[in-house]
A and B are shown apart, each in its own frame.
Chain A
Amino acid sequence: MKKTIYTLIVISIITTALIGMSSFSTKEIHGGGIAIIVNKENPISSLSAGEVKLYWLRKIKKRWPELNKNIKPVDRKAKCPEQETFYSKILNMSAANVETYFIQKQYESAEKPQDKFQSDADIIEFVSSEPGAIGFISKNTSVGDNNVKIVLVVD
């Protein structure tokens, strides 16, 4: 009996150590300044960091109150400085916890998880076409004459 339990404990420790080492080797990315954007149809003109967090996570409201459209959070597909800043300064959550949060919401009540895009240009294009979308881009990226507006800038 003891032998089998020891074997299971040793397997657990080795697995944990291997997994831990692989995560330590991940390259650290330092965040950059970001701008939070919404569609121009959205009557909101500015948001605080706390409000962005509540809307983006669809925590208090599922729909924009005055727009009467679903809130559609927009994210980056891969790890990047903008995402790093958004997760740490706005959400105060790790990347794994953000992902788990949306999987849990989807699992519990069929809620659609966040839409993910490769670049700032893709995010601007999506937010331009979706009245309920809210996303983040680098603060240095110009929104040009697209159908989006900046509601918060975070350094």
Chain B
Amino acid sequence: MKKILLIISNLMYFASSGQDTKIRFFGQPDMVYQHSSETNPITNTTTNKSQTNFNGAGFVIFITSQINDRLSILGESDAHYNSVDKKFNFEVERLFLRYYYKDYLSFRAGRMYTPIGYWNNQHNLGLILQPTIFRPYHIRAAHDGGIIQTRDIGFQVEGENMTSLRFFYQVMFANGVGYFGANDKPNNNIAITGKIGIEPIDGLKFIISGQRDHIQKGISSPTGIIQNENGKLWIGNAAIAFMNPEKKFEFIGEYYHQFNQYDSSGTRQSIGYFAYTGYKITDSFIPYLVFNHSMSGTKNNPDPYFAMYSTDNKIASVGARYKLNAGLVVKFEYEFNLQTVKDVPTPVGNKDFSTLSNRARLQFAFSF
């Protein structure tokens, strides 16, 4: 905690001494009720469990500084309580330097969000900016069940606002899955992530993106599974978004398809897609719906990158947000989640295990 206060005071000093340095804080306390029913197909019994929690959630310190006309710095740190070691953990989420040369050519270097899809670059820790309480399942943080690497350390080339279609692109060269930028990578492998898109009318974006990386034997995947063999990883993404603050209708839809080519055991496939839609009844009040579906592996071919057994996860949410002003948004969300783990070996043959859970969550997202 002392360390956090010291960092905050240093940032405040930095902000007050630099002419173009802006510091912002984000917080998002919430309360959640969760009920789950787990069905055991062997004993044909159901186990019910309920939990109610009031969460402090993370406290995000966000700082940007305009060094000169073309050079800027962004730092984003998250202080959150870790229930395992009962301490506040402090994590640097992003820290990069951006050099703007022209609209069609800029550079970034440091730790940043991987340029894949729409949501991953648009909405993250500053939850006041995010239309929902949770990120879509596929791109959640690993500790929330997410399954792809959403951040990495490397170098990015990018451009935007090209031609009348407002073409944009981002290409990132980075360490890849399992490495933390601590001189811990024992090879020359580089993960390449690329994104291209157009914005033909304000707020309407069509995006195609992809990532190529290596799977390293002995390295943990984002879901925490140690990989038993080497291989190659390919992720393809297609996204459509219509998010214009002047329009009543909002939509985000994304599709992810991942191929993991293991050197000896062959190729596995996993997919995930989600759709969000909201409608502004007033400028401040927006009810919304979200549907997520993720499948890791296929029925007889589990994907060891994500889970030991094939897993199917469907989440449907209904919610609403009320925006008081740019500094406070209240959101309420009710979520239904059906998770099925397929073909789990048991003494009576392979069985599917299902868990149905409902979750109600109220969040206060603020910024100052």
Contacts and interface: CB of A to CB of B under 8 A. Distances in A.
Interface of A: 1, 4-5, 8-9, 11-12, 15-16, 19-20, 22-23, 59-63, 69-70, 92-101, 103-104, 106-113
Contacts of A60: 161, 166
A104 B103 CA distance: 18
B33 interface: yes
Q: Which 10 A-B pairs have the closest CB atoms?
A: A99-B326, A110-B74, A97-B245, A12-B332, A4-B33, A110-B72, A112-B66, A96-B325, A19-B324, A96-B326
A108 B326 contact: no
B367 A111 contact: no
Interface string B74-116: 1000000000000000000000101010010000000000000
B122 interface: yes
Nearest to A101: B245
B323 interface: yes
A9 B327 CA distance: 22
B330 A99 contact: no
A5 B128 CA distance: 23
A70 B166 CA distance: 19
Contact of B72 (A22, A93, A101, A112): A112
Pick from B62, B283, B325 the residue with the most CB of A within 10 Å: B325
Contacts of A8: 31, 33, 332, 360-362
B217 interface: no
Contacts of A95: 325-326
Q: How large is the interface on B (under 10, 10 to 19, 20 to 34, 35 or more residues)?
A: 35 or more
Interface of B: 20, 22, 24, 31, 33, 35, 50, 52, 62, 64, 66, 69-70, 72-74, 96, 98, 100, 103, 121-122, 124, 126, 128-129, 161, 166, 202, 245-246, 283-285, 322-328, 330, 332, 334, 358, 360-362, 364, 367
Given A8-B31, A110-B96, A70 B322 contact: no
B129 A110 contact: no
A110 B52 contact: no
B20 A112 contact: yes
11 contacts: A4-B52, A8-B360, A11-B31, A12-B362, A95-B325, A107-B129, A108-B122, A109-B98, A110-B74, A111-B64, A111-B72
A103 B24 contact: yes
Nearest to A112: B66
Nearest to B76: A107
A10 to B, nearest CB: 10
Contacts of A5: 33, 334, 360
Given A16-B330, A19-B324, A113-B22, 17 more contacts: A4-B50, A11-B362, A12-B330, A12-B332, A15-B330, A19-B322, A23-B325, A60-B166, A93-B245, A94-B283, A97-B246, A98-B326, A100-B129, A106-B62, A109-B98, A112-B66, A112-B72
Main secondary structure of the interface of A (DSSP, over half): helix
B179 to A, nearest CB: 24
A132 to B, nearest CB: 8
Contacts of A100: 129, 245, 323, 326
Nearest to A102: B326
B161 A110 contact: no
Pick from A12, A16, A103, A107 the residue with the most CB of B within 10 Å: A107
Contacts of A106: 22, 24, 62, 64
Contacts of A96: 283-284, 323-326
B183 to A, nearest CB: 26
A96 B285 CA distance: 13
A23 B62 CA distance: 27
Contact of A62 (B100, B124, B246, B361): B100
Given A23-B324, A97-B245, A106-B22, A9 B161 contact: no
Contact of A16 (B35, B322, B326): B322
A23 B324 CA distance: 7
Contacts of B324: 19, 22-23, 96
B52 A19 contact: no
A65 B177 CA distance: 41
Contact of B284 (A9, A23, A110, A112): A23
Contacts of B326: 95-100, 103
A143 to B, nearest CB: 25
Contacts of A97: 245-246, 283, 326
A111 B103 CA distance: 13
A103 B367 contact: yes
A96 B245 CA distance: 10
A93 B360 contact: no
